[in-house]
Structures are given as C-alpha cells and as structure tokens.
Amino acid sequence: MINKLTTAALLSPALTGVFAASTTCANVHMMLARGTTESYPGLLGSLTDLVMAAIPDSDYENIIYPATQEGSTPSYEEGIYNGTAQLKAYVQACPDSKVGAMVVSDMLAGGGDNGTLGNITSPSVDPETLGSHIAAVLLYGDPRHMPNQTYNVGDVTATGKYPRTAAQLEALAKYAARLHDYCDDKDGVCDAAGTNLSAHLAYATIWDKTASTWVESMMEKM
C-alpha cells in the first residue's frame, strides 16, 4: 500500500468515473490515496507510473474520498471506511492478485486520536485475512508518523501532527516487514516541529525511484 496522507475513501457513485484505472484482475494492483486537496491520482501518480512500467500486468485504482482537511469535514472517516471497502471488494474479486495498495495507514493501525481525528477505532483491515494480500505499504509524509520505528525512512526521529497510540503502533507493527514510512526533515505534516511545506511536496522528486525499486522487490517476494 502506498499512501500520502492519513485519509481514504468510499465507492461514491458521483465519482465512479475516476474510481479505477482498470477494472480487471491484474497480477499486481495498487490502490492510491491522494493527499489533502490533491486531484486524482495525486502526487503518487508518478510513482505508480514507474511501478507499472517495471512490473508487467500491473494496474492501479484510486481510493475515492473528499481529500479535504481532517477535523473540519468527515473526509478522514470516509477515507478509512471507503478504502477498506474498496480493498475488500478487490480481494474478493481477484483473490490471486498481489495488492501493493496505496492506502491509508489508519486502515491497518486503527484510526482516531480522541481529539481532532475523533474517537479511537480498531483497525478496519484484519492482518490475517485482507491484510495477508498486501505486499507493500508505502507512506509519504504521514501525519501519524512516529519516531524510531524500524520501517521509517528519512527523518526517523520525527513525530507527526497526530501521534499514534501504543495500541495503534502495535497493530501497524504487524506490517513492519512490508512497510516504508517516508518523512523528510522539516515536513510540517509528518514532523510536527517542521514548517517547510515544500518538503511535504517534494517526495516524488526525491524518493520515487528509490521507492519504486523497493515496491518492485516486495512484489517479487509474494
């Protein structure tokens, strides 16, 4: 899974035109969650192009959600619910596909913070069932980034805008061997002490080639 922000989406009838790039079963299927206020497919589109060029019979699907600011709209909750629904639907239709999904981390770890993000919720993706189909999880500038995790890449000591609880970290750790969480120094989203918006928008330029190579290697392992 590859994700830019902690948000996901649902099968919105009004947005079915941008729901997916392919509706057939592929050997490798990627699910993209665009960043807040981005248009589909978001900054992750360039990374997806690299992966699809390198892996035959691969495609992608947009996770459909409003991508508006968390806290002031239900975008965050819709993202978790809808992203899970789309993942479940694809796995049921294509059980033999490898899902290198670009989905939100809170689907795996559990959402909420009893504050801005609402009440704490359990993970919506069971690691033993739906989660077993996931080959790679890649996060760019995750606002729930936590310091000193084995899967961190870049600024490994930063704490994001919305830190995870101990239970959420424990749930996410089940995917540690399949997860890369990229956070660059001074990115004010994944590093609450940062103030550099340009750092948050530079992941594609800095990391896409490295990230693509890693995703390809993870797909080969499944």
Report the pLDDT value the prediction gives residue 100, as an integer from 0 to 100. Answer: 64
Say how far apart CA 109 and CA 96 lie, in whole Å: 24
Q: Is residue 200 part of a domain?
A: yes
Q: Give per-10-residue mean pLDDT for the chain (222 aa).
A: 33 32 77 83 88 91 79 73 88 86 74 72 86 90 93 90 91 95 91 89 93 91 76
Rounded CA Rg of the chain: 16
pLDDT at 205: 94
Number of domains comprising the chain: 1
Answer whether residue 50 is part of any domain.
yes
Residue 2 within a domain = no
Q: What six digits make up the tokens of 160?
A: 């994001």
The answer to whether residue 9 is domain-embedded is: no
159 domain-assigned: yes
Q: Is residue 8 part of a domain?
A: no
DSSP-derived letter for residue 164 is: P
Residue written as token pair 């061997």: 177
**Whole-Å CA distances, 193 to 25, 77, 79, 115:** 43, 25, 26, 19
- 185 Cβ contact partners less than 8 Å away, ≥ 6 residues apart: 154, 155, 158, 191, 194, 199
Residue 51 domain-assigned (yes or no):
yes
Q: What is the pLDDT at residue 7?
A: 25
Enclosing domain of residue 115: 28-220
| CA-closest candidate to residue 149, choices 114, 123, 174 | 174
Q: Report pLDDT digits (tens) over 101-142.
A: 544 788 898 887 766 676 677 788 899 998 999 899 999 998
The answer to whether residue 5 is domain-embedded is no
CATH number of the domain bearing residue 38: 3.40.50.1820
Distance CA 213, CA 88 (A): 26
